[in-house]
A and B are shown apart, each in its own frame.
Chain A
Amino acid sequence: MRQFLAALVLGLLFGLGLSVGSMTNPQKILAFLDIAGQWDPSLALLMGAAVVVTFGLYRIAYRMPRPLLAPRFSWPRMTRVDLPVILGPAIFGVGWGIAGVCPGPGLLLMVTNPRAAAWFVPTLLVGLWLGRPHHRRARQQAEKDATEPSA
């Protein structure tokens, strides 16, 4: 219950941040990606600010023995630059360039533009579901490699 409530507040902060920064608006995203048009660097500034704040808070997390409300940290174990980490973002990039919508703002369409969400969200979920077996397999393998001493 404590985990649920903490995550609820954090998700709210995230959704509020996307709203305040107009990342909910596909036209804002497309204006960032359109460097040959009337370029709008807002997305880069927002992402930069988010990275700086997250970087600072991660520094605190690095020094903690465990998270405040959970038994252990789940830092990503994958470090290798492999084909999926190039191919996946390339496929994502095509969809992002077509619609100007990434997963967070895509889910928010259910609130901000239900008509568009009716087209986008079902296929987003199908796409996530189709890509998930690969993601799970790679993550579990990386966790196994990290915990088992190599022969």
Chain B
Amino acid sequence: MPVFTPFEAILGGILIGLAAGGLMILLGHIAGISGITEEVLPPIEERAELPWRVGFLMGLLAGPLVFAALTGHLPPAEVRIPGPLMALAGILVGFGTAYGHGCTSGHGVCGLARLSKRSFVAVTVFMVVGGVTVFVLRHVLGLGV
């Protein structure tokens, strides 16, 4: 059972903030993972923007590997739901973040840091709907997920 890990959470948040703020100062872009991933899928529209997007995603994927090199183990990723349910979640997360113009990083970190009203609305909606979904699955339907 996960426990509250305040020190790791703050350290992790600082690293993510440095990445998000750094991406604006250096390259002038919002660090939104869904938006960046969307635009590396074919057909590609903004070819000049492809190198930084691919670089960012490669670095992102290297994150857990560097973490493993430093600590001796990969960060945990425990999945308890069956594969088809993961697949369903994937399409909802993908479509919802693209259609809603951002995810936990674009709206949640960058949007809130810009004090964007749109992002405040988006974050409130996905937090509340996420919470209600977990409540229904775990406490109404009693699924151990």
Instruction: Encode B71-97 as 1/0 by CB contact (under 8 A) with A.
Output: 000111111110111111111111111
A contact residues vs B (CB 8 Å cutoff): 1, 3-28, 30-31, 33-38, 40-43, 45-58, 60-61, 64, 66-76, 78-81, 84-99, 101-113, 115-116, 118-132, 134-136, 138-139
Identify 5 new A-B residue pairs, CB closer than 8 A, beyond the known A16-B67, A47-B104.
A10-B26, A49-B13, A57-B25, A131-B97, A135-B98
Contact of B118 among A31, A81, A130 (CB under 8 A): A81
| A40 proximity list for chain B (CB < 8 A) | 2-4
A120–B138 alpha-carbon span in the complex (Å): 21
B91 pairs with A13, CB closer than 8 A: no
Name which residue of chain A comes closest to B135, CB basis: A36
- DSSP majority for the B interface? helix
- DSSP majority for the A interface? helix
Across chains A and B, the number of contacting residue pairs, with CB separation under 8 Å, is: 516
A selection of 29 A-B contacts at a CB cut-off of 8 Å is A4-B55, A7-B54, A14-B59, A17-B15, A18-B64, A19-B64, A35-B131, A47-B13, A50-B14, A51-B112, A54-B110, A57-B21, A57-B22, A60-B21, A70-B27, A73-B28, A84-B100, A89-B100, A103-B93, A103-B105, A107-B57, A111-B74, A115-B79, A118-B83, A123-B94, A124-B94, A125-B94, A128-B38, A128-B94
A73–B87 alpha-carbon span in the complex (Å): 36
B89 pairs with A30, CB closer than 8 A: no
Asked, given contacts A6-B26, A101-B89, A127-B94, whether A58 binds B113 with beta carbons under 8 Å apart, the answer is yes
Q: Which A-B residue pairs are the 9 nearest by beta carbons?
A: A15-B63, A88-B100, A127-B94, A57-B21, A21-B12, A53-B17, A97-B133, A11-B59, A131-B98
In the complex, chain B residues 106-129 whose Cβ is within 8 Å of any chain A Cβ: 107-114, 116-118, 121-123, 125-129
